[in-house]
Amino acid sequence: MKKFNVVILLVAMVFAACTSTPKSYVIEGVVPGASYNNQMVYLCDINHVNRIDSALVVDGKFTFTGLVDTAVIRSLLLLNQLYVDFIFENGKIYVDMADPNSAKGTPMNDELSKFYSEWDVFEETVRTKLTEIQQNGDIGDEVRQKQIDEFTEQYVLPKGEQLGAKYFNANNNNAVGALVLRHLSVQLQLAPDQFDAFYMQAGDVVRNFSDLKKISERNAKIMQTAEGMSFTDFTIENGNMDGSSVSLSDYVGKGKYVLADFWASWCGPCIVEIPVLVEVYNKYRGEKFEILGIAVWDKREDTQKSIESHNTTWPQILDTGEIATNLYGINMIPHIILFGPDGTIVARGLRGNRLKAKVAEIMQ
């Protein structure tokens, strides 16, 4: 009996040694080129605000060691240029600062790496098809755009969501699920209802991830200011060109259609959209139609210089900062909203030919 008990004890000890959870972490990283030698790599939160630890790059390599109680999402940052987002857990983690999705070596990071690998294959398929459509010289721009829209609707969105769901459903209450959902939201530009379909299935770990909470809060604002909803007013104390107070309601809900352009002087796509706005403004301005510029995320003097240099003659609200974009759930500009005469939101996200077609439709 004693000999039997000793055997059981030894087997149990070996099994425990093979299956025990690592008690510490080691992060081994490489950098792309000798120019990064003697620079610091920082272990940060996901938004690169709080720096937790640092390591020196020597001979193209760096190392972090320590102990973490609970797996959390972190980022490695090098010269504010290169970063790797990863799951900070005990075990040996390998990263390549040339690839933001390179972390692997521990269970969660390996699972995330599998997702990114499958996503790369999916993305290459999408890229090949879009290139084929773009380079087809036998079709015009209108047909080309229609084919792109159909391909996006019938293949890109459903296949992307299907791939994301495969990994999210298996990890809906851990850091892998949180990063998968963030990736889907950014890459597929998920609509609020599409995002919520994932988010409502998530456990606390996913739902409390700061980036996803922000998306959820922004989606709530989008739903409150969706097509068919009444406009949400705001006031900027020095928002007029002369420095006086102005409100959105000074223009919207006054009996005219108002095309509101959320823009900034530094935003290239915003500047590209100006000729479209000029064309529409010259054609329809009057008692039934107005354009209103809403300058966001910009310095007042830069906004004014841009207005002068591009000779945009429609009214503007300056110095809105994040006030207007937060209220309307806007995270990318330009974002153009068409308000009806009574202040009802008629359309959102108008650009280019779609903008011109929508205005022509309502002005008829």
pLDDT of residue 20: 53
pLDDT at 76 over 90: yes
Residue 172: pLDDT band (50, 70, 90) is very high
CATH classification of the domain holding 245: 3.40.30.10
End-to-end Cα distance, the chain: 96
Task: Give the per-residue pLDDT at 22.
Answer: 67
Do 155 and 86 lie in one domain? The reply is no
**Whether residue 305 has pLDDT greater than 90:** yes
Which pLDDT score, from 0 to 100, does residue 205 have? 93
- What average pLDDT does the segment 219-248 reach? 95
CB count in 10 Å sphere of residue 27 = 26
The answer to whether residue 1 sits within a structural domain is no
Q: What is the mean pLDDT of the chain?
A: 91
Q: Tokens representing 296? A: 């966001």
Distance CA 93, CA 317 (A): 50
Question: What pLDDT is recorded for position 3?
Answer: 45
Domain end call among 175, 199, 224 = 224
C-alpha to C-alpha distance for 324 and 315, rounded to whole angstroms:
16
**90 in a structural domain:** yes
Q: Does residue 5 sit within a domain?
A: no
304 burial type by CB count under 10 A (0-12 exposed, 13-18 middle, 19+ buried)? middle
Question: Mean per-residue pLDDT for 341-348?
Answer: 96
Q: What percent of the chain has pLDDT over 90?
A: 85
90 in the same domain as 140: no
Helix (H) or strand (E) holding 363: helix 352-363
* Residue 92 shares a structural domain with residue 112: no
Strands 51-56 and 40-44: antiparallel
What are the angstrom distances between the C-alpha of 309 and each of 36, 254, 306, 313, 316? 41, 30, 5, 11, 15
Strands 316-317 and 345-347, sheet pairing: unpaired
pLDDT band at residue 189 using 50, 70 and 90 as cut-offs: confident
Q: Which residues lie across from 28 on neighbouring strands?
A: 63, 94
Q: Is residue 352 one of the residues assigned to a domain? A: yes
User: How does DSSP classify residue 155?
Assistant: I
Residue 14 has pLDDT above 90, yes or no: no
Mean pLDDT of 93-107: 96
Burial 36-65 (b: 16+ CB within 10 A, else e): beeeebbbbebeeeeeeeebebeeeebebe
Segment 145-165, tens digit of pLDDT: 889 989 999 999 999 999 999
- Whether the pLDDT of residue 10 is over 90: the answer is no
CA distance 175 to 171: 8
Q: Which pLDDT does position 338 carry in this prediction?
A: 98
Q: Which pLDDT score, from 0 to 100, does residue 138 have?
A: 86
Q: Considering only CA atoms, which of 138, 133, 189 is closest in space to residue 160? A: 189
What is the greatest pairwise CA distance in the chain?
100
* 178 and 298 assigned to the same domain: no
Q: 243 in helix, strand or coil?
A: coil
**1 pLDDT tier (thresholds 50, 70, 90):** very low
pLDDT of residue 27: 97
Q: How many CB atoms lie within 10 A of CB 214?
A: 12
Report yes or no: 178 and 154 within 8 Å, Cβ to Cβ: no
| Residue 355 sits in the same domain as residue 250 | yes
Please tell me whether residues 182 and 282 are part of one structural domain. Answer: no
Do the Cβ atoms of 167 and 176 come closer than 8 Å? Answer: yes
pLDDT band at 9 (very low <50, low <70, confident <90, very high): very low
Least Cα distance to 351 among 363, 362, 337 occurs for 337
Last residue of a domain, one of 72, 96, 120: 96
**Tokens standing for residue 85:** 């987002």
Q: Which residues of 231-257 are buried (b: 16+ CB within 10 A; e: fewer)?
A: bbebebeebbeeeeebebebbbbeebb
Regarding whether 317 and 274 lie in a shared domain, the answer is yes
Q: Is residue 4 part of a domain?
A: no
Judge if 171 and 71 occupy the same domain.
Answer: no
Domain assignment present for 53: yes
H or E segment to which residue 28 belongs: strand 25-30
Segments forming the whole domain that contains residue 331 = 235-363
pLDDT of residue 146: 87
Q: Which helix (H) or strand (E) holds 163?
A: helix 157-168
Residue 353 lies in a domain: yes
CA R_g for the chain: 26
Confidence band for 21, pLDDT divided at 50, 70 and 90: low
16: domain CATH number is 2.60.40
Question: Do 213 and 114 share a structural domain?
Answer: yes
End position of a domain, from candidates 51, 71, 96: 96
Residues 141 and 85 in one domain: no
Q: How many domains does the chain have?
A: 3
* Res. 170: pLDDT tops 70: yes
What average pLDDT does the segment 284-312 reach? 95
Q: C-alpha angle with apex 282: 278 to 286, nearest 5 degrees? A: 125
Any domain includes 6: no
What is the percent of the chain with per-residue pLDDT over 70, rounded to a whole number?
Answer: 94
Whether omega for the bond prior to residue 334 falls within 30 degrees of 0, making it cis, is yes
Q: Are residues 20 and 67 in the same domain?
A: yes
- Residue range 110-155, pLDDT digits in tens: 999 999 999 999 999 999 999 999 998 888 888 888 899 899 999 9
Residues 171 and 198 in one domain: yes
